[in-house]
């Protein structure tokens, strides 16, 4: 049976993906109040209290092996610059929804693409996922590019299914199958 204890630390050439801790609440809050992050999140900026609660929810999901989320940190400095992970894990059908956010000052440097490769590999190899999917605001072109670089395919558009700040927005659904991911890596 899968366990996230000990927590799976992932490393890339520039990044260390580690467990989120209560000490990360300040950075977590800074990211979730960043106007560029909030713009496409489908929700208002989070308060510090909201962020504390969200970190507790993340910890419970890990303890109960329902979801997993990593703090995205720079290897050379240890600075946390975002987070990513799997939520809405449907174990019966072997898929999970991917979610991520990155502080705007660290965008366009390839960090999320780099981190996403390791997280996807973990999901497919260790969690037994057959499919990963992501739901994003259809206007979030930067996030769409990150997913497409990782091999995701845009599969659907849910028209005006989110209501925020007085208007409706569309949600694009992206999916990636294990075999597609493995093929990109040259693995059977």
pTM value is 0.93
Domain boundary assignment for the chain: 10-184
Please give the Cα distance from 103 to 82 (Å, whole number): 6
Amino acid 33: pLDDT = 85
| Contact in structure between 17 and 7 (CB atoms under 8 Å) | no
Amino acid 102: pLDDT = 93
> Could you give phi then psi for residue 126, rounded to 5 degrees?
-105, -30
10-184 folds as Aminopeptidase (3.40.630)
Amino acid 42: pLDDT = 66
Amino acid 17: pLDDT = 98
Amino acid 165: pLDDT = 78
Residues of the chain with pLDDT under 50: none
Q: Considering only CA atoms, which of 161, 139, 4 is closest in space to residue 85?
A: 4
> Could you give phi then psi for residue 130, rounded to 5 degrees?
-100, -25
Please give the Cα distance from 171 to 30 (Å, whole number): 25
Please give the Cα distance from 7 to 20 (Å, whole number): 10
Report CA 95 to chain centroid distance, whole Å: 14
- Cα dihedral sign for 47, 8, 92, 146? positive
Please give the Cα distance from 43 to 15 (Å, whole number): 28
Amino acid 133: pLDDT = 98
| Contact in structure between 85 and 97 (CB atoms under 8 Å) | no
């Amino acid at each position: 049976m899968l366990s996230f204890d000990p927590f799976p630390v992932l490393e890339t050439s520039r990044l260390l993906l580690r467990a989120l801790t209560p000490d990360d609440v300040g950075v977590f809050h800074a990211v979730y109040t960043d106007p560029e992050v909030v713009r496409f999140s489908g929700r208002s900026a989070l308060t510090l209290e909201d962020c504390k609660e969200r970190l507790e929810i993340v910890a419970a999901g890990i303890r109960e092996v329902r979801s997993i989320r990593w703090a995205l940190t720079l290897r050379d400095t240890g600075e946390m610059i975002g987070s990513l992970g799997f939520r809405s894990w449907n174990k019966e059908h072997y898929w999970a929804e991917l979610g991520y956010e990155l502080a705007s000052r660290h965008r366009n440097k390839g960090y999320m693409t780099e981190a996403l490769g390791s997280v996807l590999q973990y999901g497919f190899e260790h969690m037994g996922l057959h499919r990963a999917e992501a739901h994003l605001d259809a206007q979030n072109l930067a996030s769409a590019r990150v997913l497409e670089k990782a091999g995701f395919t845009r599969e659907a558009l849910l028209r005006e299914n989110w209501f925020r700040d007085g208007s409706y927005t569309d949600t694009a659904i992206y999916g990636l199958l294990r075999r597609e991911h493995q093929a990109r890596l040259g693995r059977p």
